[in-house]
Chains A and B, each alone.
Chain A
């Protein structure tokens, strides 16, 4: 149990386009999902906290108009990178916290975004 999926696993896009990444909790409900960004050989940096049915809470320095987060259901959150640029190239990882268990987050496998 407690599986989180991300789609796509890899995406390559041209500069200026938008890319949507999906994060799904497959066998549990998650009122809260988190989006992280990981630079090469670096740790995970929290971008935003996504709560089902409400606006996401963004960390300081993260542009909410560039990184659009939608958490429309208890099993799905999406991150849209708008007007992507090469500096947005990174590994994006989501995690989900079960409504019934607040002591653990379950991580997706990550999405590798490359912007040309």
Chain B
């Protein structure tokens, strides 16, 4: 079984400041981990994913995340926030080599960027 905990339902940062969105996971099998972004009334867009290659994963729009097995974490970061980064962010986990298992999502973190 898998689960995801996103710490902080709402994060607010100033434009140009560091973005850090926290995600901890629980998985009984080696995980695949994902970060998705959702803009209002839209579907989910994949930011990045960890699938057992490099533990530091670079994604789109300047985001990156580091898989830390010892901490069961997959935090999302971006060095400098932009106004266009304001959105809802979801961390998700699935089991590696699990065939047709679905993604399990965290509750999401809403990122606000202040000018």
A44–B96 alpha-carbon span in the complex (Å): 21
Interface of B is mostly: loop
B41 contacts A110, C-beta separation under 8 Å: yes
Given A104-B46, A112-B41, the answer on whether A44 and B90 have CB atoms closer than 8 Å is: yes
Are B43 and A109 in contact, with the CB atoms below 8 A? yes
Chain B residue contacts of A46, Cβ below 8 A:
102-104
Interface mask (A6-26 → B, CB under 8 Å = 1, otherwise 0): 100000000000000000000
A interface, by DSSP: helix, strand, loop or mixed?
A: strand
Is A93 touching B32 in the complex (CB atoms < 8 A)? no
Which A86-116 residues have C-beta < 8 A from chain B? 91, 93, 95, 97, 102-105, 107-110, 112
Query: What band does the interface of chain A fall in when counting residues whose beta carbon is under 8 Å from B?
Result: 20 to 34
Is A32 touching B108 in the complex (CB atoms < 8 A)?
no
The answer to whether B49 and A104 have CB atoms under 8 Å apart is yes
Residues of B within 8 A of A43 (CB): 90, 105-108
CA distance A14 to B42 in the complex (A): 24
Contact residues of B with A, CB < 8 Å?
A: 32, 34, 36, 41-46, 49, 51, 90, 96-100, 102-108, 110
A residues with a Cβ closer than 8 A to B are: 6, 31-32, 34, 41-44, 46, 49, 51, 91, 93, 95, 97, 102-105, 107-110, 112
10 additional A-B pairs beyond A46-B103, A107-B44, beta carbons within 8 Å, are A34-B102, A91-B41, A102-B98, A102-B99, A103-B49, A104-B32, A104-B34, A105-B102, A105-B103, A107-B36
